[in-house]
Amino acid sequence: MTAIPAPIRSQKKFESSLPFWQRLTTNRNWIASWFMLPAAAFLILFLAYPLGLGVWMSFTNVRIGREGVFIGLENYEWLRDDSIFWLSVFNTLLYTLVASAIKFALGLYLALLLNRHMPFKAMIRAAVLIPFIVPTVLSAIAFWWIYDSQFSIISWSLRQMGLITQNINFLGDSNWARASVIIANIWRGVPFVAITLLAGLQTVSPSLYEAATLDGATNWQRFRFITYPLLTPIIAVVMTFSVLFTFTDFQLIWALTRGGPVNATHLMATLSYQRGILSGRLGEGAAIATAMIPFLVAAIMISWFGMQRRKWQQGENND
């Protein structure tokens, strides 16, 4: 009688007897890679490649119609001493911070209002989205008329009321121009913040508010201790997007002011376009665009850590 050898596992490493080509078509890991390939190809072609090319161009002196050569950090050294570049950085930060803060405040307020029971709720909610769905350039042109130095309806109204004697030069004065583009951006951005936060508010169970009411919470305390903390993850997401969109804004500025007056509203994106495309100095334009990356990464990191804390609060994977 021969003893039947017990199967010995984990002593010998498993080696597939299949030939290499067959393994590529049957092994689960390989199959997964095949399926991911089309999506990966798209991402590489349309996202990674242009990004990489942009970064590479920022290290060359390429111009439109002329091959460039690698010049190291020379573009960045130029920018370091360029006061217009630093003005555009300041403008971008100011534009992003002020517009995002106001968009958040207004959006949250609007979301809380829209979360109440009221007649024609669905229609009002849909109406709130209108500024968001109008193409940016169209709304910019509308604002352009509103801010027009001669025909501005705001100036006209204020004059009729006797508050001012001559038209406000909305887009011709540095500070007025900055305020004007920020207001236009807020008008466009609030619906996105409001509707997203509204979606977040609707995930909060009404019984939590009832429980808090019975626990003795006032309206403000219900907001402070229930609504706000439960909304933080969605606030983190929506404000990240809002900051990213605002920081990289181009259309609105270009349609309203083209960066003027005297570069007072030039953002990094518009300056990059002006230097890179209009002046043809692609390398320098690419360097300005690349300089935006650290700011954007910082914004994403902030929200990422914000959401991480939330996960811990929820007690997932943390026993």
Partner 1 sequence: MASVKIQDVRKSFGGFEVLHGVTVPIEDGEFVVLVGPSGCGKSTLLRMLAGLENITSGTISIGERVVNDVQPKERDIAMVFQNYALYPHMTVAQNMGFSLKLRKENSAEIDKLVNRAADILGLRNLLDRYPRQLSGGQRQRVAMGRAIVRDPQVFLFDEPLSNLDAKLRVAMRTEIKELHQRLKTTTVYVTHDQIEAMTMADKIVVMHDGIVEQMGAPLELYDHPDNRFVAGFIGSPAMNFLEGSLVGGETPYVETANGSKLPLAASRTGLDGKPVVYGIRPEHLEFADDGVEAEVIVVEPTGSETQIVARIGKQDLIAVIRDRRAVKPGDRVKLRPVAKAAHVFDKETGKRLIN
Q: Which of residues 11 and 318 has its CB atom nearest to partner 1 in the complex?
A: 318
Which residue in 205, 278, 302, 305 binds partner 1 (CB under 8 A)? Answer: 205
| 157 is a contact residue toward partner 1 (CB under 8 A) | no
**Least separation in angstroms between CB 215 and partner 1:** 4
| 215 is a contact residue toward partner 1 (CB under 8 A) | yes
| 77 is a contact residue toward partner 1 (CB under 8 A) | no
Sole window of 40-48, 66-74, 200-208, 288-296 interacting with partner 1 (rule: CB under 8 A): 200-208
Contact pattern from residue 256 through residue 295 relative to partner 1, giving x for each residue in contact according to CB under 8 A and a dash for the rest = ----------------------------------------
Residues 6+ apart with CB under 8 A from 62: 68, 282, 283, 286
CB 90: neighbour CB atoms within 10 A? 11
β-bridge partners, 296: none
Which residue in 210, 293, 298, 302 binds partner 1 (CB under 8 A)? Answer: 210
| 219 is a contact residue toward partner 1 (CB under 8 A) | no
Would you tell me the crossing angle of helices 83-114 and 228-247 to the nearest 10 degrees?
Answer: 140
**Least separation in angstroms between CB 318 and partner 1:** 8
Which residue in 61, 213, 248, 251 binds partner 1 (CB under 8 A)? Answer: 213
Query: How many residues are present in the chain?
Result: 319
Q: How many CA atoms lie within 13 A of 190 on its CB side?
A: 20
Give the alpha-carbon dihedral of 206, 210, 213, 218, to 10 degrees. 10
Interface with partner 1 (CB under 8 A), residue total 22
Which residue in 229, 279, 305, 308 binds partner 1 (CB under 8 A)? Answer: 229
Please answer whether residues 225 and 212 qualify as being in contact, where contact means their C-beta atoms are separated by less than 8 angstroms. Answer: yes
| 315 is a contact residue toward partner 1 (CB under 8 A) | yes
Sole window of 15-23, 140-148, 174-182, 309-317 interacting with partner 1 (rule: CB under 8 A): 309-317
Residue identified by tokens 């390989």 is 30
**Least separation in angstroms between CB 315 and partner 1:** 4
Provide the residue type at 314 as one letter. Answer: Q
Rounded Cα–Cα distance for residues 33 and 46 (Å): 19
Q: How far is CA 215 from CA 210, 224, 225, 227, in A?
A: 8, 14, 12, 15
β-bridge partners, 66: 63
**Least separation in angstroms between CB 313 and partner 1:** 5
Which residue in 87, 230, 292, 307 binds partner 1 (CB under 8 A)? Answer: 230
Which residue in 6, 8, 123, 214 binds partner 1 (CB under 8 A)? Answer: 214
Sole window of 60-68, 155-163, 179-187, 219-227 interacting with partner 1 (rule: CB under 8 A): 219-227
Q: How far is CA 302 from CA 82, 192, 230, 259, in A?
A: 29, 20, 18, 29
Q: Which of residues 166 and 203 has its CB atom nearest to partner 1 in the complex?
A: 203
Q: How far is CA 93 from CA 15, 86, 87, 165, 297, in A?
A: 58, 11, 10, 34, 14
Residues lying near partner 1 in the complex (CB under 8 A) are found at: 205, 207-208, 210-217, 221, 225-226, 229-230, 313-316, 318-319
